[in-house]
Chains A and B, each alone.
Chain A
Amino acid sequence: MAEEKRQEFWRWAETNWVNPDIKWEAAQFMTVGIDVGSVSSQAVIMADGEIYAYGNMRTGSDSPNSARNALKFALENSTLTEDKISYCIGTGYGRVNVPMADRTVTEIACHARGANFIYGPEVRTVLDVGGQDIKVIRCDDKGKVTNFLMNDKCAAGTGRGMEVFSDLLSVPIGDVGDRSFDVDEEPAPVSSTCVVYAKSEATGLLRKGLKTNEVLAAYCAAMAERIYSLLERVGVEPQFAITGGMAKNRGVIDRLKKKMGLEPMKTKWDTQLAGAVGAALFGHALCKKGKGL
């Protein structure tokens, strides 16, 4: 029982990967992008502008170590060593604390550039739902930012808000999406904006006899509404792509899709990588111009 209590339902799986089709020894430039977010950190290593390896893990209590750990994690199953890396760019909330970075680039620019790569140049609107913020970015066919809007003041609609709920309802965060659709009837969305009040409201709903899955559905719907209102303010131009951890939660995304009447683009890549991919691409571009060296 005590064991069960300590389970951290919000904890998502940390992943790393090495591309078996790329021989890094043959590459001219090896560049790294490190995105230290408020909740997760990613390191993406590119060989001449192609993704060679990545590591995606939870941000620890200090940014420099999170950056180091993410890079170490990316290199874990590779023969590549840190000293072979030509250029490193830091981005994200903790970008000024990436010790190995040659320079930093804002996460807005990196996300647009990264989405352009992982989703393709047709992307015009990028919605990034991260751990502690929501960004809506409009960009051109080169992945250059033309306009953006951001909410980083309030947890409503962010990944952290969803983590709080998965913990409250003791539902592993990866199961939230599917379970939120396992209901007989779609309940009314949770009405409180503030996550603190939404928690009290959810407890009240449980007391009233709603099932856990129904409360999940009510909260996913509230999140979709929150995100939709931000999208509306910037205006969505297709093609539309979603990055960040929330892109993996169909409980929110499918409800958002329905509201928008628009199908988001699909990708084979981990949606949390966009920022780091963008950073590594900026590094690659600098190397090619000879400016980074």
Chain B
Amino acid sequence: MITAGIDCGAKNTKTVIMKDENIIGRGTVLTGFEQSAAVKESLALALKEAGISREQIQHIGGTGSGAKAISEADVKVNNIKAMAAAANFFFPKARTVTDVGAEESRAVKCDESGNVVDFAINEKCAAGAGAFIEAMGRALETSLEEMGPLALSSDKAIAMNAQCTIFAESEVVGLIHAKTPKKDISKAIHDAMASRIVSMIRRIGVNPDIVMLGGVAYNPGFVSALQRELGVDAIYVPEKPEFGTAVGAAVVAAKDSQ
């Protein structure tokens, strides 16, 4: 059976196409202001990579903050459910899964079948979302790709006073003026962000194995800070983590149709 999962997020819209247990196509575009256009575009990209036509897809699962704009979907999948299903698909031993998105972060506790047991969401404050690191990157005049490796090269622990992203921007500028090395500032930024995510995860309990989905998982500085703050041996990140929730949507769509 061929299924697709579309995750229309605040920043990017991602589509995956799956044939049984295998991912055969992926597509991602910036969401922008026209959510439905972004959905169509990402689906077209994924179809092209898979080398199939739209008609060959039997079921489409739609998820994400812009899920309403996915008219193509015949199954609407809740974000939380998609995350749990994705974690279980990639790592069957997963019991805690976290997804740090651009403007929202979530933590889900799941069982051995990928069912949701409990969850926590932060959608109110940018201090615990990808937007935080992006804003800090701008203040530090460093690209997102450089931020993580830069943080890894530091072993200093500088505590940031500000929780608020807006205040933290000024704090970073202050640290730059005080001639603090960029790598140390970068580490402080990642540590601050990780501690926000950890306090959210603690609300549902820290149960290994821990899986991280979402584009922020590409950032090794953040993953390492998260691992340190959680005090666990490993954090499992699937290949192309930004498609994680879309994979979950496809998995749920396949299951629901059976």
Option from B33, B103, B170 in Cβ contact (under 8 Å) with A197: B103
The docked-state distance in angstroms from the alpha carbon of A196 to that of B126 is 6
* Structural contact, A160 and B166, CB atoms closer than 8 A: yes
Q: How far is the CB of B66 from chain A (nearest CB, A)?
A: 12
* Structural contact, B124 and A196, CB atoms closer than 8 A: no
A258 within 8 A of B: no
B125 contact set on A, CB distance < 8 A: 154, 193-194
* Structural contact, B166 and A204, CB atoms closer than 8 A: no
A229 within 8 A of B: no
Please count the residue pairs between chain A and chain B whose beta carbons lie under 8 angstroms apart in the complex: 47
Q: Mark B94-126, 1 if CB is under 8 A from A, else 0.
A: 000000000100000000000000000000111
Q: Mark B165-179, 1 if CB is under 8 A from A, else 0.
A: 111001001100110
Q: Mark B121-139, 1 if CB is under 8 A from A, else 0.
A: 0001110000110010000
Given contacts A61-B173, A62-B177, A154-B125, contact A195 B166 (CB under 8 A): yes
* Structural contact, A204 and B33, CB atoms closer than 8 A: yes
Residue of B whose beta carbon sits closest to that of A153? B163
The docked-state distance in angstroms from the alpha carbon of A194 to that of B132 is 11
A132 within 8 A of B: yes
- Among A132, A164, A193, A197, chain B packs the most CB atoms within 10 A around the CB of A197
The docked-state distance in angstroms from the alpha carbon of A200 to that of B10 is 10
B164 within 8 A of A: yes
Option from B163, B165, B173 in Cβ contact (under 8 Å) with A196: B165
Q: How far is the CB of B98 from chain A (nearest CB, A)?
A: 20
Q: How far is the CB of B104 from chain A (nearest CB, A)?
A: 10
The docked-state distance in angstroms from the alpha carbon of A61 to that of B170 is 9
A155 within 8 A of B: yes
Given contacts A154-B125, A204-B33, contact A196 B174 (CB under 8 A): no
Residue of A whose beta carbon sits closest to that of B33? A207
The docked-state distance in angstroms from the alpha carbon of A154 to that of B103 is 16
Q: Mark B26-39, 1 if CB is under 8 A from A, else 0.
A: 00000001000000
A38 within 8 A of B: yes
A161 within 8 A of B: yes
The docked-state distance in angstroms from the alpha carbon of A132 to that of B162 is 10
The docked-state distance in angstroms from the alpha carbon of A197 to that of B11 is 12
A193 contact set on B, CB distance < 8 A: 124-125
* Structural contact, B178 and A194, CB atoms closer than 8 A: no
* Structural contact, A195 and B177, CB atoms closer than 8 A: no
* Structural contact, A160 and B167, CB atoms closer than 8 A: yes
Q: Mark A144-167, 1 if CB is under 8 A from B, else 0.
A: 000000000111000011001000
* Structural contact, A132 and B131, CB atoms closer than 8 A: no
Residue of A whose beta carbon sits closest to that of B174? A61
Q: How far is the CB of A80 from chain B (nearest CB, A)?
A: 31
The docked-state distance in angstroms from the alpha carbon of A293 to that of B132 is 49
* Structural contact, B166 and A155, CB atoms closer than 8 A: yes
Option from B170, B174, B177 in Cβ contact (under 8 Å) with A160: B170
The docked-state distance in angstroms from the alpha carbon of A182 to that of B164 is 31
A161 contact set on B, CB distance < 8 A: 166
Q: Footprint of B on A, CB under 8 Å?
A: 38, 61-62, 132, 153-155, 160-161, 164, 193-197, 200, 204, 207
Sample 9 A-B pairs with CB under 8 A, ordered by A number: A62-B177, A154-B125, A154-B163, A155-B164, A155-B165, A195-B164, A195-B166, A196-B135, A207-B33
Q: Which 4 residue pairs are nearest across A and B when measured between Cβ atoms?
A: A196-B126, A155-B166, A61-B177, A155-B164
Given contacts A132-B167, A153-B164, A155-B166, 16 further A-B contacts (CB under 8 A): A38-B170, A154-B125, A155-B164, A155-B165, A160-B166, A160-B170, A164-B166, A194-B124, A194-B165, A195-B126, A196-B131, A196-B132, A197-B131, A200-B103, A204-B33, A207-B33
